[in-house]
Every structure is written in structure tokens, then in C-alpha cells.
Structure 1
Amino acid sequence: MSNTPAAVSTDEASIAETASSDLAKLRRLVLGLFLISACSALYFARDFFMPVVLAFLVAMTLTPIVRFLRKRGVPSALSATLLVVAFATVFGLLAYVVSGPAITLVNDAPSIGRTLAERLRQLQRPIERINDIMQQFDTMTGQVTDPNIEQVALAQPGVVSRAAGSVLSIGTSIGITLVLALFLLASGQMFYEKIVQSFGRMSDKKRALRVVYDVEREISRYLLTIALINSGLGVAIGTGLWIIGVPNAILWGVMAALFNFLPYIGALTTMLVVGVISIVSFDSLSYALLGPGFVLFCNLMEGQLLTPLILGRRLELNAVAIFIAVAFWSWLWGLVGALIAVPLLVVIKVFCDNFESLQSMGNFLAAQQSMEPAETAPDPALPEAPKSGPAVLDVVTSAQP
């Protein structure tokens, strides 16, 4: 007989291998479709998703402070309200202080451009030569517009209407962000209770709590620490530029603090802008170089000494991954997306480090190769146990160190 047990076993193995291969292809196809759908949703519904993501980042940043106050007897709702109000007040004051110099700078942009062109006249001659060549090329190819041909231009909305619409949209986004962050911070133990109730076995409940605590601790401490470091950097740069005599030093300090969330690119942009303002403001070119030189010095001290000393090197990211993330999120959400690209990348890396199936992805995002599994050390400041039932109470109590 041809249907021997060995032949049947071989056929079954072949069928199982084919089914496994087809299932893997189907999973990759579904994953690709999901990523395309997610990117499309994030792009076309950015007015909804952007405030939500910002609210989660703000909540994660302020979580260590809420947890610290809760251990001292302050209710989460009260501390969350005070923190969000303080955050909104500081943000509003900075926006009010910076708005005046920013508007003046925009109005003076033409005169600044003329002054800069006069100061850099010797560098402008090659550019003028290139422009002449391009005009000659346009003339030869017939791309010069005939003045006798009437052109029709579509009327665009006025500057005032566009500005009003932008201010209204920004105000709405900020309001949604702050309100949602307040609810997230004031929710207290509800998030942990829902996670515990989502699992059936006690071991799964404990492991889920460990992972959630570790991820939240690392992300919240990173975001809070980076926010404080960038704020200190902005204060240092603003103070130094004020001493040097650079106009609108507060504006450049705020710009340095915000743009420092963009590694490499942010510091370079701040240095170039301060350099242009210094060249326009001072007669001596050597003295004008003090402003961008001071910005460069502060960013080098922050990036090479202060941040590694405080945060360590566990959360350092691959430079290629940083540039890809910044390019992707800036394409999706513009400047806001570029500023939150690195914090979101850190969130993704921490999640990958805490799940065994995703550790290869976390290793790719890391600056240095490290094949050791991430340790999930117990949090010394775990929240108090939720009171939604004996089983939940036992799980959280046993999860505490």
C-alpha cells in the first residue's frame, strides 16, 4: 500500500507548514493594512488625535508629581487640578510675553532681510550670479511670462481671517489637551483597576501590573526630567543672550527650550536664528558670533554632560530612528508632530523593552546594541491599592515590593 504511516505523516507536515506560511503572510498583510489605515487616520483626523496624544504626554509628565502628593495625603483630583491650572498659567504667561516680540519680529522681517543682505554682501555675489544664469535659462526655454497675457489669480482669504482661524483652532486644541490631561491625572487608580479586571489568572494580573508600573514609571520620569532639563536650558540661554545684548532674549530662550525636544535639528535651528539676529543687531561680526557660540556651548553641555548624567544611557535612541521619527511626525502633524516625535519614540521603545516579543524592535531603536532583556524592577512608589474588590486588593498588595 502506498498510504504508509510515514507518507501520511509527511503529507500532514507539509500541509501544516503550508498553512503556517499562509497564516504568516495573512498576518503581514493585515499588519500592513492596519498601518496604512492608522497613518491615514492620524493624518486626516489630526485635529482630534493631536490633542489626545498631547494630553497623554502631559499626563505622563505630571504623573510623578501627582503620585508624590498622593502619598502625602493630597487627593489626586485636587493635585491634578492644581497642576493643570499651574501648567496652563505658565503656558499662557509665556505665550503672552513671547507674542509681542514674535509679532514685532514678523513685522520687521523685511528690514532684517535687507540688513542681513548688506552685512553679507560678499557672500551674496555668487548667489546673484546663479540667479542671472537661471533667468537666462528661463528666457531660452520660453518660461518667461509674457506681460501682454492677462493672468487670473484666485482670491485667497485675508491674513486677518486666516490668523483668526488659526488662533481659534490652536485655542480649541489646547483646551481639549488640558481638560483631557486633567481627567487622566484625576482618575487615580481606575486605570489600574481596569487592567487587573481584564485578566483572569492571578499570575497574569500580577505580570500586567508589573509591566504597566514599569512602563509608566520610566516614561513619566523621562518626560518630566527632559521637560525640566529643557526648561533649565531655555532659562540659561535666555539669560546669557540677555547679558550679551541680543534683542528679544526671552523669545530665544523659549525657542531653545521647545526646539530642544528635536535632537540635533532643534539646536541647529536655534543657533542659526540667533546668529542671524546677532549679525543684524551688532556692528562687529566677531561680537555677533558670541550669541550663536553661547547657544552651541549650552547645547553641548546639555547633550553631552547634563542629560546623560541625569538620565543615564538606557533610554538613548538610534540617530537614524530619531531622524525617521521626526520626518514622519512632522509630515503628519507639522511642527507639533516634530516636537513630540522623540517622546513618542521613547514611549514605543519602553513598551518594546518590556515585552519579550518586541525586544528586537526595542534593540533596534536603542543607541547601543544590548541583547539583554529589560529588567522590570519594582516601583518603589507604587500607588495605593485600589478598593474595587478583595481579588484586586490581593493582586496589587502582592505586586508591591
Structure 2
Amino acid sequence: MENNYSVERSLRVLVLISLFATAYFARDLILPVLLGFLMALTLSPLSRALFRIGVPHTAAAILLVSGTGLVILLIAAGSAGTIAVWSDELPRMGSEIRGKLSTMSEAVEEVRSATDEVEKLSVDPEAAPEVVVKQPGLLDSAFDTMTRIGATLAVTFILALFLLSSGDLFYRKLVQAFPTLEGKKRALQTVYSIEKQVSRYLLTITIINIALGVCLWLYLTALGMPNAYVWGVAAALLNFLPYLGGFIGTLLVGAFSIVTFDTLGYALLAPIGYQVLTTLEGQFITPWLIGRRLAMNTVAVFLTVVFWGWLWGIPGALVAVPFLVVFKVICENFEPLKTVAIFLSGDDTEEVRSNKAEPLASE
């Protein structure tokens, strides 16, 4: 009996490792599919609202997906020129930052010089010549990146369009899969609970991040920061990355404000305002709007962001928290996974234990 349990546990570990290995190597396939489902969940409350006023599911799906795509296209087109100019001026900006932060730059330069001297001493003059592999050109790399991004967005939008236009098709298929009336009721109740909570969270977080970007845009415009709308877009995107996103945004805004403004004291107003806005959003606004029901364990959130960032890079870090929320809600509705849901929840776990939806696994 004990041997069978050991074998079963080993098989579970192997299956888990295989899943993560598959996720790593199949990132280009899994990522757009995951993004498509997340987009469909985010837009599903709006799709249902349009359906209630007489708009067919297909028309609502086309309207919402095309509208989202148009907004993203306009934002990208409006920001591309500014980002291209910034990329060309990065060396000059770096020199200006070093000039205004001369004290810190001198200390960093001393450390770098000492490091170079140590590396020179450690080099063996009789060592074999180093073989340098020629890297692909900048144009080729940019073309490959744009192709990958375009393919990902295409799959994401098409899948979201199909999911939204299908309406209640998946629910009808789920009902048909259960033989008893009680099983059909429990399945529908569980799935509706999952969809309601996840879609509400994703839509709420998206609206909050957009509002944060608008507030930062207005604040930086008032300070006189050029191209402040680009920083608003960046803040909205970075805010999908908990903890790290606000820190990264503060550093970037601080660096560019030092280059832009003449005095260091006035330049610091930009990163300070960025940090104040993100702190208010993270500590008060978001917890108040999403409520305790979807509160997350901060340690679990941080570890999830780090893990998916390591596995998939920046896209993985951005989708880590929405993915964790989906997983938490699913665990809440399946009796064998209730312990995992309690661990992933915030301080108040009573709402997890008293979830109204009957667990589907108990059927």
C-alpha cells in the first residue's frame, strides 16, 4: 500500500514537472490562448450587458473586440514615435543623468574601474582566442519581435471573438455532460460563480489601471513633463505587475524627469507623485473595489509573479496575477482544492470556507 502511494506521488511530481516544461517550450502557443481567455473573461460582463439590451452575442463580440483592438492600435501608434526618439537619445540621457548625479556616478565609476582591473588580472594571456558568435542584426531582431507580437495578438483577438460570440454554448455543453439534474445545477452554479468572480476582478483591475494611467498623465502634464501620455500608458501596463511594476515605473519616470527638468528637487516631484498614486491605488482603492472576496496572499502573489516572469519573461509576469486569480477561484469551487484556496486568500479566509457555490467535485 505504501509503495503504491509512493509511486502515485512520484507520478504526480513528474506530471507537474512535465506541465511546466511544456509551458516553457510551448510559450508561443500557450500565451496567446491564455490571453484570449483572459480577454474574453474581461469583456464578458460588457457582452452580457449588450445582450440584455438586445444586441446579439456575435455583434457584441465584434464590437467589443474590434473596439479594444482599435484602442490598442491608437495607443501603440501614438507612442511608437516618442519611444523611437527616446531610444535614439538614450546615450545623451545617460550622460545628463550621470552629470546631475555626479556624486553617485563617481562612486559607481570607481567600483566599475576596480572590477575591470580585477578582470584584466584574471585573464590568461596564453588562453585560446575567444570565439565570437555573430548576432543577428538589429533589423532582423526587430522584425522577428514584431512578427511574434503580431501573431500573438492575432490569435488572442480571434479566440476572444469566438468565445464571446458563442454566448452560452459552453454552458449548454457542460449541462449536457452531466447525467443527473442535480449534477447539471451544481455544474452551472460553479461555472457561473467562477466566471462572475474572475470577470469582475479582471474588468475592475483593468479600469483601475486605466484610471491610474490617466491620473499620472494629468499629474505629469501639470509638472511640464513632455509626452506625459506615454508615461500614463506605461503606468497602466506596469500596474498589472504587482509590487515590481510600481517600483520600475517610479525609477523610469525619475530618470526621465532628471533629464527633463533643470533642478534635481523639482525633478523628484515626478517619481514621488508616481509612487504616491500607486500607493493609494494599491493600499486603498483596489482593496476597496474588489473587496475581501478576491483578496490575495501577498507572498503567493509575489512568488507567482517571480515564477512566471522567470518562465515566460515580461508577458508571463503581466499575466501571472490574473492567472492566479483564476486558479484561486477554481480552487474555491472544488472541494479537494479548498485548502489551496485558503492559502492563496488574504487575511479573511472565512469567505472562502463559506463559498455559496456547491463544489463540483462533490458530485
- Please say whether Structure 1 and Structure 2 have the same fold, judged by a TM-score greater than 0.5: yes
TM-fit CA distance, 1:359: 1.0
1:191 Cα deviation after fit: 0.3
Shift of 1:135: 2.9
**Structure 1 residue 149 displacement after superposition:** 8.3
Equivalent residue in structure 1 for 2:146, among 142, 163, 167? 167
In the alignment, is residue 218 of structure 1 matched against residue 197 of structure 2? yes
Match of 1:56 among 8, 31, 37: 37
Paired residue secondary structure (2:315): helix
Is the 2:209–2:237 contact (alpha carbons within 8 Å) kept by the matching residues of 1? yes
2:91 to 101, 107, 110: 110
Match of 1:120 in 2: 101
- Given candidates 270, 277, 280, the residue that maps to 1:291 is 270
Structure with higher helix content? 2
User: What is the distance in 2 between the residues matched to 1:108 and 1:327?
Assistant: 31
Q: Cα distance, 1:30 vs. partner?
A: 2.2
- Say whether the 8 Å CA contact 1:271–1:296 is kept in structure 2: yes
2:82 aligned to which of 80, 97, 101: 101
CA distance in 1, matches of 2:168, 2:297: 35
Match 2:321 to one of 336, 342, 348: 342
Name the stretch that deviates more: 237-246 or 122-131. Answer: 122-131
Tell me if 1:65 matches 2:24: no
Q: Distance in 2 between matches of 1:106 and 1:320?
A: 35
1:324 alignment partner in structure 2: 303
Q: Is the 8 A contact 1:354 1:374 kept in 2?
A: no
Give the superposed CA RMSD: 1.8
| Residue 142 of structure 1, CA deviation | 3.4
CA distance in 1, matches of 2:306, 2:35: 18
Q: Who is 2:68 aligned against?
A: 87
Q: Retained in 1: the 8 A contact 2:333–2:357?
A: no
Deviation per residue, 1:269-317 (Å, 9 max, x gap): 1011000001111111110011011111111221122112211122121
Contact 1:210–1:376 (Cα < 8 Å) also in 2: no
User: Structure 1 residue 303 and structure 2 residue 282: aligned?
Assistant: yes
1:366 paired to 2:345 = yes
Deviation at 1:209, TM superposition (A): 0.6
| SS of corresponding position for 1:261 | coil
**What corresponds to 2:335 in structure 1?**
356
Q: Under a length normalisation based on structure 2, what TM-score does the superposition of the two structures give?
A: 0.94
Tell me, in whole angstroms, the C-alpha distance in 1 between the residues paired with 2:49 and 2:5: 46
Letter in 2 for 1:376: K
User: In percent, how many aligned pairs have the same letter?
Assistant: 41
* Contact 1:315-1:366 within 8 A present in 2 as well: yes
Instruction: Give the secondary-structure state (helix, strand or coil) at the position aligned to 2:292.
Output: coil
Match of 1:248 in 2: 227
Gaps spanning 5+ residues in structure 1: where?
1-18, 379-401
The residue that corresponds to 1:74 in the other structure is: 55
Secondary structure in 2 matching 1:314? helix
Name the counterpart of 2:5.
24
User: Which region of structure 1 is more displaced relative to structure 2, 243-252 or 262-271?
Assistant: 243-252
d(CA) in 1 for partners of 2:156 and 2:312?
A: 15
Is the radius of gyration larger for structure 1 or structure 2? 1
Tell me how many residue pairs correspond in the alignment. 357
Q: For 2:355, give the aligned amino acid.
A: E
Match of 2:161 in 1: 182
Return the TM-score normalized by structure 1. 0.85
Residue 132 of structure 1 deviates from its aligned partner by 2.9
Provide the C-alpha distance between the structure 2 equivalents of 1:279 and 1:40, rounded to a whole number of angstroms. 43
Gaps spanning 5+ residues in structure 2: where?
359-363
Task: Specify the alignment match of 2:251 in structure 1.
Answer: 272
